[in-house]
Each structure stands twice: as C-alpha cells, then as structure tokens.
A and B are shown apart, each in its own frame.
Chain A
Amino acid sequence: EIVMTQSPASLSVSPGERATLSCRASQSVPINLAWYQQKPGQPPRLLIYSASTRATGIPARFSGSGSGTEFTLIISSLQSEDFAVYYCQQYNNWPPGGTFGPGTKVEV
C-alpha cells in the first residue's frame, strides 16, 4: 500500500500570505493525486484532482502541481475561510479508494 506523507504537519500563516503545502508518495502515482480541504464539523471538500486541475467552484488562488512522488498545493493569498486542514489522496494504486496523507493544518 502506498504511504502518503505531508509536510509540514501545521503551518501558521497570516491572511494575505502565501501557503505552500507538500505531499509525498512512497512510490510513483503519476498525476493521480487529489487535495481536499476540511473545516471542523464538515466533510472534506475536493479542491484539486489530477494533481493540478481545480474542481468546480474552487478559487484560482488554489493551485496544485507535481507528478510522480512529489506534489505541492499553493494557496496564493490566504483568506480567512482558508484556515482548515488539507489532505492529499493518491488514487493510483490499491486500495481502490486510495490512501490519504495525515493532513496539514493551516492556522493563523
């Protein structure tokens, strides 16, 4: 099973600043990588799929990049509503639903 790691575990950022989140896979997943945002008491929300494609309705300040084993999510100018936990998910390999990283908490 592919193991996903995320760094940092938490990130303190001020509104308006840029946040860079990293995700690494233990083996190559080409571009079969998604990013989710989760706020307390809510389900995850799809932000990015295929490593760099924004999901419907996701603002342009969210961008994803990478391929193979190294991936990055950038939030170009943090808004108050962006403070949340961010998870990456590989869906290239078994199990069918993929595996998730442990998350990065973005806080003020």
Chain B
Amino acid sequence: QVQLVQSGAEVRKPGASVKVSCKASGYTFTRYYLHWVRQAPGQGLQWMGIIDPGDGSTTYAQKFQDRVTMMRDTSTSTVYMELSSLRSEDTAMYFCACSLTNEYYFHLWGQGTLVTVSS
C-alpha cells in the first residue's frame, strides 16, 4: 500500500547533526513532492522544507535555511533530511509528508522520527 516509512529514533548531543530518512512505497516516487514537518513535544506543527523527488530541487523555511539539507535517492525511493548544529530546542518529532505538485496539503504522512538533543 501507499506509505512513507521513516527511520528510527535518534539521540544527539548539542552541536551535532542528525540525518532522518523517509522511504516511499506503493506509488511512483516522482509523482508527489515530499515535505518535512516537525512537532516539538506538546506543540504544534512547523513546516521545514520541500523536495521535488524528480529533480532534487529544494526550498527551505527561513528558520532552517542555514542548517537543513534535504536530498533524495531515486534508486531506493528515499528522501533524507539532515539538520546540523543541533540545540535542545530541536528536540521534536520529525515527519515526512506527501503533497500534490500543485497544492501543498499533506495527504500522506510518515510515522514520525523522534530526535532528542541532550548533553
């Protein structure tokens, strides 16, 4: 079935980087754009960025512009989100989510990856 499966929970120290994966299956990988959305504990949803799996082009939210990199591997239908210079405020659940290419609401979500930043 159509699904997004994310990598497991991560623990990092402040200043480190983390790379989270999101594997798509059940549909043509290039059909939908992939986004990353994060949710701090007990908080709301914050959009981080988008990647076009077709050509790998990306757009990032200003808040994360200097620290986030999104990439894709078409051979495995997987997208990755790497966040660097981690601080405690980056402790959150990170979700990947699909949208159509012309309307950016999210019709399919990954299960989420908890990233904990702690010394």
Contacts and interface: CB of A to CB of B under 8 A. Distances in A.
Interface stretch (A10-18, A65-73, A87-95): A87-95
Contacts of A91: 103-105
Contacts of A103: 44
Contacts, number: 61
Interface of A is mostly: loop
Contacts of A55: 107
A43 B104 contact: no
Given A44-B109, A45-B109, A97 B103 contact: no
A19 interface: no
Interface in A63-103: 87, 89, 91, 95-103
Contacts of A56: 107
Interface stretch (B8-16, B45-53, B72-80): B45-53
A53 to B, nearest CB: 10
A3 to B, nearest CB: 12
B40 interface: no
Interface of B: 35, 37, 44-50, 59, 61-62, 95, 97, 99, 103-107, 109-112
